[in-house]
Amino acid sequence: MQVDTKVKELKYRLENVENRIRKSAIDCQRDPQSIRLVTVSKTMSTKRVKEAIDAGVEILGENYIQEAREKIDRFSSYPVSWHFIGHLQTNKAKYAVRLFDLIHSVDSLKLAVELNKQAKKIDKVQDILIQVNVGQEVSKTGASPEEAFDLIKNIDRLENLCLRGLMTMPPFFNAPQKVRPYFSSLCDLRDRIKAVIQTSIPMNELSMGMTNDFEVAIEEGATLLRIGTAIFGERN
Ligand SMILES: *Cc1c(COP(=O)(O)O)cnc(C)c1O
């Protein structure tokens, strides 16, 4: 395929996603401005990332530190924000705080303590989300809803971390409606945590919804959508 055609296609897909977001938001009486799109660029070449930036994406989401580092270095002069959405190992915390504006996947106190320590070293207050395994699947990472309460109480004491909200990665279903209960549990959990835990921090973000189910996520209160395939096309 010609490069020009590929760029056009990406622009077209991005516009299509943005229009669907706007429409879903309006249909459920939400302000479209309260929903931000994280364009998931994992496995995409720097060339494709550049095309996405040129097409106007504002936030890029990456899953792997090594891969992200190359892209972030390359595009450091561009006005885009980078979010980490993959599983983060404690020994990579140092890189994560240097590279990312928001880390979506904090799921243990050990990781939070290390992120706090590394953020302190570079005099940064790191924005984070707690990843919750609302489906309680054995194979998935993320804190259980009970663990999330404990984690948040402890994180409140870590001065170089700022907790912005929760993230979830529900089980995969072909029918997006089947994911709805997982999204609504995450929203409930956030509201219960806010009611129970006395915290000065905002905790408003809900990172949920991907290519297959983002419209349902919007209906259930998502504020950050993580979308890859609908924008870049299928990953190899
Ligand atoms: C890959 C990935 C996405 C994007 O998935 P698509 O189905 O391509 O939109 C979102 N969130 C996480 C955590 C991912 O790993």
Q: What would the pLDDT profile of 31-76 be if each residue is shown by its tens digit?
A: 999 999 999 999 999 999 999 999 999 999 999 999 999 999 999 9
Report the separation in Å between the CA atom of 199 and the middle of ligand 1, taken as the mean of its atom positions: 30
Burial 75-106 (b: 16+ CB within 10 A, else e): beeeebebbbbbbbeeebbbbbbbbbebbbbb
Q: What is the pLDDT averaged over residues 76-92?
A: 97
The torsion defined by the Cα of 187, 192, 195 and 197, in degrees rounded to 10, comes to: -110
At 3, the pLDDT band (50, 70, 90 cuts) reads low
Q: Is the CB of 85 under 6 A from ligand 1?
A: yes
- With the most atoms of ligand 1 within 8 angstroms of its CB, the residue from 85, 88, 214, 236 to mutate is 85
206: β partners = 166
Report the separation in Å between the CA atom of 159 and the middle of ligand 1, taken as the mean of its atom positions: 30
Helix axes 145-155, 180-196, angle to 10 degrees: 40
Q: Is the CB of 22 under 6 A from ligand 1?
A: no
Question: Whole-angstrom Cα distance, residue 62 to residue 64?
Answer: 6
Q: Phi, psi at residue 214, to the nearest 5°? A: -70, -25
Question: Whole-angstrom Cα distance, residue 169 to residue 133?
Answer: 7
Please report the atom of ligand 1 found closest to the CA of residue 38: 10
- pLDDT of 212 strictly over 60: yes
Q: Is the CB of 39 under 6 A from ligand 1?
A: no
Q: What is the pLDDT averaged over residues 11-38?
A: 98
At 236, the pLDDT band (50, 70, 90 cuts) reads confident
Please report the atom of ligand 1 found closest to the CA of residue 63: 15
Predicted local confidence at residue 1, as pLDDT = 53
- pLDDT of 200 strictly over 70: no
Of the candidates 22, 30, 38, the one whose C-alpha atom is nearest the C-alpha of residue 164 is 38
Which domains occur in the chain, in start order? 2-232 (3.20.20.10)
C-alpha distances (whole Å) from 197 to each of 90, 131, 145 are: 26, 18, 14
Put simply, whether the predicted model's pTM sits higher than 0.85 gets the answer yes
Nearest CA to ligand 1 atom 10: 226
The torsion defined by the Cα of 112, 118, 121 and 123, in degrees rounded to 10, comes to: -60
Determine contact, residues 213/179, Cβ cutoff 8 Å.
Answer: yes
Report the separation in Å between the CA atom of 29 and the middle of ligand 1, taken as the mean of its atom positions: 26
Predicted local confidence at residue 202, as pLDDT = 78
37: β partners = 225
Question: Whole-angstrom Cα distance, residue 69 to residue 76?
Answer: 10
Query: Residue 101 CA to chain centroid, in angstroms?
Result: 11
Q: What is the pLDDT averaged over residues 146-163?
A: 92
At 195, the pLDDT band (50, 70, 90 cuts) reads confident
Question: Whole-angstrom Cα distance, residue 68 to residue 81?
Answer: 12
- pLDDT of 207 strictly over 90: yes
Predicted local confidence at residue 39, as pLDDT = 98
